[in-house]
């Protein structure tokens, strides 16, 4: 849940609190106007449960906000961890590319052939016009892995053309 949604929820809670305060003030003014002790006791008996319920709901809302905040924090930590992991993988790929080490070897026809059969399947399906999402679904692989193989293939082709 984003901070924008949390802000809206907080504004909603503030609006409810202000509305309850206004209703309470108007009710109190009406009670003073009639100046009847019996009417005041009756009104207090009627408003009391509403205030108790409002306090209970506000407490639940506060707990929900805390839980949402904790969840957003944990999601951010997990996202940061995954981004760091992807950066490490990309750095490794760049090092392999720059050192000239690759998992491809030229075939007799001069085309690049990956040594890994799964990579071969990915590249073959890409040549057939499939996109990364379709390939990932067909081979039961993570989409990011398919995209990484295709990106490395493009980089190896550029590297070969530069030589």
At 106-163, the pLDDT tens digits run 444 444 444 467 888 888 999 999 998 899 888 888 888 888 889 888 888 888 887 6
Q: How far is CA 91 from the centre of its chain?
A: 25
pTM of the model: 0.35
> Helix, strand, or coil here: 129?
coil
What is the per-residue pLDDT for 23?
Answer: 92
Q: Which backbone phi and psi does 82 adopt, to 5 degrees? A: -70, -40
Nearest CA to 3 out of 72, 67, 62 is that of 72
What is the per-residue pLDDT for 47?
Answer: 82
- Local confidence band at 104 (pLDDT 50, 70, 90 cut-offs): very low
For 13, 60, 65, 66, the CA distances from 72, given in Å and listed in that order, are: 19, 18, 10, 10
Which ranges of the chain does DSSP label H, i.e. alpha helix?
3-34, 37-99, 117-127, 132-139, 143-162
At 44-54, the pLDDT tens digits run 778 888 888 98
């Amino acid at each position: 849940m984003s901070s924008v949604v949390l802000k809206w929820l907080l504004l909603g809670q503030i609006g409810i609190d202000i509305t309850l305060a206004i209703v309470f003030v108007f009710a109190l003014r009406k009670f003073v106007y009639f100046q009847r002790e019996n009417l005041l006791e009756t009104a207090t008996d009627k408003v009391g449960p509403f205030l108790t319920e409002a306090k209970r709901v506000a407490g639940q809302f506060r707990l929900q906000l805390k839980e949402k905040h904790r969840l957003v924090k944990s999601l951010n930590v997990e996202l940061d961890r995954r981004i760091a992991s992807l950066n490490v993988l990309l750095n490794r790929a760049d090092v392999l590319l720059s050192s000239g080490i690759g998992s491809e070897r030229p075939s007799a026809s001069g085309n690049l052939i990956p040594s890994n059969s799964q990579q071969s399947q990915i590249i073959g399906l890409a040549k057939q016009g499939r996109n990364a999402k379709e390939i990932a679904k067909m081979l039961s692989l993570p989409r990011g892995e398919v995209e990484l193989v295709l990106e490395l293939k493009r980089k190896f082709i550029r590297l070969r053309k530069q030589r």
